[in-house]
Structure 1
Amino acid sequence: MKTNLILWLAGMMCFIVLLISCTKDLDQFPSVETTSEQVYTSVEGYQSVLAKLYASFAVAGNGRGDDDPDMAGTTASWGYLRVYFNLQEIPTDEVIYTWAGGDNLVEIQFMNWGASDTWVNAMYYRIYYTIAICNEFLRNVTDEKLAAFAEADQVAIREFAAEARFLRALAYSHAMDLYGNVPFVTEQDVVGAFFPPRITRPELFRYLEGELSEIAELLPTGPQHAYGRVSREAAWALLAKNYLNAQIYTGEARYGDCLDYCQKIIDAGYVLQEDYKKLFNADNDQRTEEIIFAIQADVAHTSTWGATTYLVNGPIVGSMKAEDYGVLSGWNSFRTLREFVGIFNAADTRGDFWTDGQTLNIDDPSSSSQGYSIVKFTNLKDDGTFVTDEGMVSTDFPMIRLADVYLMYAESVVRGGGGDLQQALNLVNQIRHRAFGSDEGEISTAQLTLDFILDERGRELFWEATRRTDLIRFGRFTGDNYLWQWKGGVVDGRATDAKFNLYPIPVTDMAANPNLIQNTGY
């Protein structure tokens, strides 16, 4: 995988490497390098490729700990989820990062990145790697290709194709949110070197709206599907997320549509898990009542130094004992900021801050003793035991879960999208009852404001890669409407340029593709 989008697209069309990093419920094992003519000859072959599509969100390579990487270059070992977390969380009020060991995130932390930034480029090419392998898979699910299969096998492979389309839609949704106007390639494009056309953000939104609506009708419902694989409700939830942000993406509010799809998910029978912490431990693959779609991790199958390994080890700092979280040592990497600490009530169990030996104020971001740590993800099983491979973990990342759907419903009601205000209040209070363990945290209708919802999304969804998108939607990410320590690179924060609401198209792709136009200000 290279930094030239055109070259790697051509390469992916002609030859696909299937050294599969396995996912536990797809139950696949590493295979040897093979050609598409060989692999797309059985249901098992299609399933092995599908496993790779899922794994592309979790791991950076095909061997233990991201060895044998999918991509070339200095960022080869940085997997999708690790980079996505960094771009969605580190420039916000939820994270202060100690840059050590080569992972220099100063420009991301201080909202001062440019079109040559390593992390900006890494995310862009990770997204398009996933899109490329999804496209290659879909090119092999044609009527002509499937004619040789039995009818039952054709049904199974077409369902795999719907899953691949969802995974591509998820990657394109991230491209739309992070970069705006981007290159657009599908399985319908010719194989070979060409310049992908530019699709505008509103055009991509409309494409994803149609694609996800169609996919939802092809996917099974959650209870009928294996955990870790996408369901109809996952497609509905991604539609709801895009509708919630439609005013940012297209200039037109779509809160009523967000409400409709949230209601579909609510009516599907999901319920909140009783114990918040169990959503983020090594047995969270059992939380199917709330987790709608997860990026899987398993030390025996998807071993990586990114994904949730990063999220478990990274915030273990100072006097914290690594074994209390199911790993061997802390990385002293990230903590949180005083402004974020300030939105929690002392009785809110989600605010599990580590304060021993840590200061609340941060005068030096490079000091891991400054800033409270906060415990969210652990590698502990329900019984308190753990299994690790030199610190790698088995905790899944909940990309989509019910509590987010509840909060999207409530926000859409408050923003005037229709719906039922009393239901919105009840949904929020269910979340808060779990957090407080009693009705102490419940609020009234008068308290259900947009400011409250932004704070509640922070309290409930912190470190789940939603904060940047939320702050932009509320007009708090750039500018001076909301300042936090080290925003803009100064100790008490400062206003930042609105251009940082989007990341730039990497300079390498701008040079390679004459169809692209750089985002304003870069």
Structure 2
Amino acid sequence: MKKRIKNISVLSLLMIFTLFSCTDDLNITPNDDDTLLGEDLFENEGAYRQVIAGVYANLALTGTDGAGTSNIEGIDAGTSQFGRVLLYMQTLSADQMIWSYENDPGTREIQRNIWTAQNPLILGMFSRTHLTIALANNFLRETTDEKLNSRGVSDAVRADIVEYRAEARLLRALSYYYMMDLFGKANFGTETDPLNSVLPVAETPQLFEFIESELLDIEADLVPAGENEYGRADRGVAHMILAKIYLNAEVYIQTDRYSDCLNYCQQLLSSGYSLADDYRHNFLADNNTNSALNEIIFPIVSDGFTTQNFGPTTVMINGSVGSIEVNGTEVGVSEGGWGGALRVRREFAELWQGGDFIDDDRNTIISDNRPIGIVDISDRDSGYIIQKYANVTSTGANGIDQTFVDTDFPLFRLADVHLMYAEAHLRGGGGSTPTAVELINDLRIRANNPNLISSDELTLDFILDERSRELHWEAHRRQDLIRYGLFTGGNYNWAWKGNGSNGIAIPSHLKLYPIPSLSLSSNPNLTQNSGY
């Protein structure tokens, strides 16, 4: 695989847009013409690359003037960074993670499954994701053949714009994927809708159809898998999103699409990606250049100097420094980190118990002098901690900053494809049992775990547990538990589920988040999800 290391300036470009509306999701009005939405900007041929970079940057940054700023009025930077709120909604809401400081806006309700439509983290996710859609739409609106002809754009730049347009459509499809998964609906706009129009609302079936058709339609215009500049999307990212929606199709549209999931897993497995030499390489400060470069299919980039943000890796590395251990220097941040902000729930810790996982590289749990259970969430000395992510390179050098980390967040990586293939196979999607077993054992071998499995041990329950061991704290767990029918109801209760210390059943409507109240008020076509 020949991945181009130089990126599209996602790391170096500060976003050049400023918005003043947070509640008019997709109805974005610029403050002036020097923005990603300003038509005059596109008169400069060099701007097209900058503008598509700005669409990418919305996944990592929240504003133009440092980590604490937000380009969406009324939304705090700490509650609207895309990767961070995605992590909260997919991981903090489930059975792997606990946030100690429950006075932080929205966190108590998310981790206890008692959220409402007023939750600021839910609003942050809804608004930030719609902003990516709005920015992608405007890029597409300003790069039609008619617009390019009127500006006399050169053939050389037009060739690049073909790729940029495909990437804009992919980022829009990615955003609609998360809206479908988390909310079951979205304000639905494309480049054909004028700015500031009142938009229709798409429900899950329409979103599923749109995501699928868009990704299939742009396939030929995307750079082949693994061959784009680092940080840019390519054909492999499109195939990954397709595999994801097909794996979860029974949840989304009540239709079995496991054979399609397995088909795209096979394509990804033959696209030149390879597992990192060391599991930990995926979560270190140089995961953009070490052996993880060939495993990470799509990252949310982070840089301690040029793109400082309170994103998922900054939060997890600083937050997982223990209150007892004060082990920040081991993971490349200040000695005390954030004083024990993050710990793991009992049920996750128990997945590592027994002799099979003593030397497993994925087991970074620190348990000495700590009880496994968390009876009082504010007691930061209870519960185990983990040390999965680090602001340290594979050669032992620290990241450039001791708070804002250099570690990119692996939104999609090849290990997930191994696990999806095995699950899709077990659910009747085709493939072969020997291949599925080999793919799982590849992960164990890479983790230096000598306990390889046989075909008799390959079950759906095993896959669910192995997904947690391999992909924990990577924003997948809620989705996995829903697919297995274990997120809501009482078949599986974890610590603090439903606001009970030992966990209690929660109602089925919590499989979707509520539409934020402010978003409802901005679009008369939006309706609240059932149960809220």
Matched, 1:204 2:222: no
Matched, 1:316 2:324: no
C-alpha distance in structure 2 between counterparts of 1:16 and 1:164, whole Å: 21
Q: By how many angstroms is 1:214 displaced?
A: 1.4
Correspondence for 1:234 among 230, 233, 237: 237
Q: By how many angstroms is 1:17 displaced?
A: 5.5
C-alpha distance in structure 1 between counterparts of 2:45 and 2:299, whole Å: 24
Correspondence for 2:337 among 330, 344, 348: 330
Change over 3 Å in CA distance of 1:223–1:90 after alignment to 2: closer
Deviates most, 49-58 or 344-353: 344-353
- Runs (4+) of structure 1 moved beyond 6 Å? none
C-alpha distance in structure 2 between counterparts of 1:480 and 1:314, whole Å: 30
Kept in 1, the 8 Å contact 2:226–2:236? The answer is no
Matched, 1:342 2:350: yes
Match of 1:353 in 2: 365
Q: 1:222 is paired with a residue of what secondary structure?
A: coil
Matched, 1:442 2:452: yes
C-alpha distance in structure 2 between counterparts of 1:396 and 1:73, whole Å: 27
Q: By how many angstroms is 1:127 displaced?
A: 0.8
Matched, 1:157 2:164: no
Match of 2:171 in 1: 167
C-alpha distance in structure 2 between counterparts of 1:243 and 1:462, whole Å: 21
Counterparts of residues 113-192 of structure 1 (less than 5 Å):
113-147=115-149, 148-192=152-196
Change over 3 Å in CA distance of 1:43–1:425 after alignment to 2: farther
Deviations 1:18-37 (A, max 9, x none): 4xxxxxxxxxxxxxxx8723
C-alpha distance in structure 2 between counterparts of 1:209 and 1:47, whole Å: 26
Matched, 1:418 2:430: yes
C-alpha distance in structure 1 between counterparts of 2:343 and 2:261, whole Å: 33
Q: By how many angstroms is 1:15 displaced?
A: 5.3
Counterparts of residues 260-409 of structure 1 (less than 5 Å):
260-286=263-289, 287-318=292-323, 319-328=325-334, 329-331=336-338, 332-344=340-352, 345-409=357-421
C-alpha distance in structure 2 between counterparts of 1:65 and 1:117, whole Å: 21
C-alpha distance in structure 1 between counterparts of 2:102 and 2:259, whole Å: 45
Counterparts of residues 57-72 of structure 1 (less than 5 Å):
57-67=59-69, 69-72=70-73
Matched, 1:485 2:495: yes
Deviations 1:476-503 (A, max 9, x none): 1111111111111111111011111000
Query: What amino acid is aligned across from residue 157 of structure 1 in structure 2?
Result: I
Match of 1:4 in 2: 23
Match of 2:77 in 1: 76
Gaps of 5+ in 2: 1-19
Deviations 1:176-199 (A, max 9, x none): 00000221011110223x321111
**CA-based RMSD:** 1.7
C-alpha distance in structure 2 between counterparts of 1:101 and 1:321, whole Å: 24
Kept in 2, the 8 Å contact 1:111–1:487? The answer is yes
Change over 3 Å in CA distance of 1:35–1:429 after alignment to 2: closer
Deviations 1:184-219 (A, max 9, x none): 011110223x32111110110010000011122211
Q: By how many angstroms is 1:103 displaced?
A: 3.7
Q: 2:229 is paired with a residue of what secondary structure?
A: coil
Q: By how many angstroms is 1:77 displaced?
A: 3.9
Match of 1:31 in 2: none
Q: 1:469 is paired with a residue of what secondary structure?
A: helix
Q: By how many angstroms is 1:101 displaced?
A: 6.1
Counterparts of residues 448-459 of structure 1 (less than 5 Å):
448-459=458-469
Kept in 2, the 8 Å contact 1:66–1:303? The answer is no
C-alpha distance in structure 2 between counterparts of 1:199 and 1:139, whole Å: 20
Match of 2:51 in 1: 49
Kept in 1, the 8 Å contact 2:163–2:222? The answer is yes
C-alpha distance in structure 2 between counterparts of 1:93 and 1:164, whole Å: 34
Change over 3 Å in CA distance of 1:10–1:227 after alignment to 2: closer
Match of 1:461 in 2: 471
Correspondence for 1:514 among 521, 524, 529: 524
Deviations 1:267-313 (A, max 9, x none): 11211112000110001002221111111111222111223111211
Gaps of 5+ in 1: 19-33
Kept in 2, the 8 Å contact 1:58–1:307? The answer is no
Query: What amino acid is aligned across from residue 72 of structure 2 in structure 1?
Result: M
Q: 1:199 is paired with a residue of what secondary structure?
A: strand
Deviates most, 453-462 or 309-318: 309-318
Q: By how many angstroms is 1:122 displaced?
A: 1.2
Kept in 2, the 8 Å contact 1:216–1:233? The answer is no
C-alpha distance in structure 2 between counterparts of 1:100 and 1:322, whole Å: 22
Match of 2:3 in 1: none
Kept in 2, the 8 Å contact 1:43–1:157? The answer is no
Q: By how many angstroms is 1:320 displaced?
A: 3.2
Change over 3 Å in CA distance of 1:365–1:416 after alignment to 2: same
Query: What amino acid is aligned across from residue 11 of structure 1 in structure 2?
Result: T
Kept in 2, the 8 Å contact 1:96–1:336? The answer is yes
Aligned pairs, how many?
501
Q: 1:514 is paired with a residue of what secondary structure?
A: coil
Q: By how many angstroms is 1:104 displaced?
A: 4.4
Q: 2:27 is paired with a residue of what secondary structure?
A: helix
Kept in 1, the 8 Å contact 2:302–2:408? The answer is yes
Change over 3 Å in CA distance of 1:17–1:96 after alignment to 2: farther
Change over 3 Å in CA distance of 1:60–1:259 after alignment to 2: same
Query: What amino acid is aligned across from residue 208 of structure 1 in structure 2?
Result: I
C-alpha distance in structure 2 between counterparts of 1:445 and 1:142, whole Å: 53
Match of 1:28 in 2: none
Q: By how many angstroms is 1:244 displaced?
A: 0.5
Match of 2:4 in 1: none
C-alpha distance in structure 1 between counterparts of 2:51 and 2:428, whole Å: 44
Kept in 2, the 8 Å contact 1:53–1:164? The answer is yes
Kept in 1, the 8 Å contact 2:375–2:501? The answer is yes
C-alpha distance in structure 2 between counterparts of 1:446 and 1:122, whole Å: 44
Kept in 1, the 8 Å contact 2:298–2:412? The answer is yes
Match of 2:9 in 1: none
Q: By how many angstroms is 1:155 displaced?
A: 0.8
C-alpha distance in structure 2 between counterparts of 1:77 and 1:414, whole Å: 40
Correspondence for 1:248 among 248, 251, 254: 251
Deviates most, 259-268 or 302-311: 302-311
Identity among equivalent pairs (%):
40
